[in-house]
Amino acid sequence: MARRCLRDDGLFLLHTIGKNRAGAGIDPWIEKYIFPNGTLPSASEMAFYSEDQFVMEDWHNLGEDYDKTLMAWHARFEAAWPALKDRYGEHFYRMWRYYLLCCAGTFRARDNQLWQVVLSPSGQAGGYRRPLL
């Protein structure tokens, strides 16, 4: 799908959460309540499934920082909860809190990764250069 949407000189940024091992699967609770039919690809699976469609120009791992992001979301959720609790209820509170903290733990343990992969249909002329921040 992504390849069909790109011009020949276009770029595709894939921002995804992944796992360290192929076939590791997704947590059953998260599968049931948060991301039904979700998948967490491994690096080898991403390379395998993209190799006939794209040239991998850049791969950046933001996983180390995503633990901090999830913990910041958790802090904001806790701070906002008094204003939300009548609308969403205790069940939602427990589920969302569990989700944020469980996911933060997987990133802190470095079991999950957050990747940004830049892909091009047939390679960038002169090579791809990541913009300096």
Q: What mean pLDDT comes out for the span 90-119?
A: 97
Exposed/middle/buried for residue 111 (C-beta within 10 Å: 0-12, 13-18, 19+): middle
Q: Which residues contact 8 (CB under 8 A, 6 or more apart)?
A: 121, 122
Provide the annotated active-site residues.
103
Question: Model confidence over 23-72: pLDDT tens digits?
Answer: 878 889 999 999 999 999 999 999 999 999 999 999 999 999 999 999 99
Q: Where are the alpha helices (DSSP H) in the chain?
A: 2-5, 28-33, 43-50, 63-108
Asked if pLDDT for residue 1 goes beyond 90, the answer is: no
Domains of the chain with CATH codes: 2-120 (3.40.50.150)
The answer to whether 1 touches 97, Cβ cutoff 8 Å, is: no
Average pLDDT, the chain: 94
Lowest mean pLDDT among 1-10, 63-72, 108-117: 1-10
Distance from C-alpha of 71 to C-alpha of 64, rounded to nearest angstrom: 12
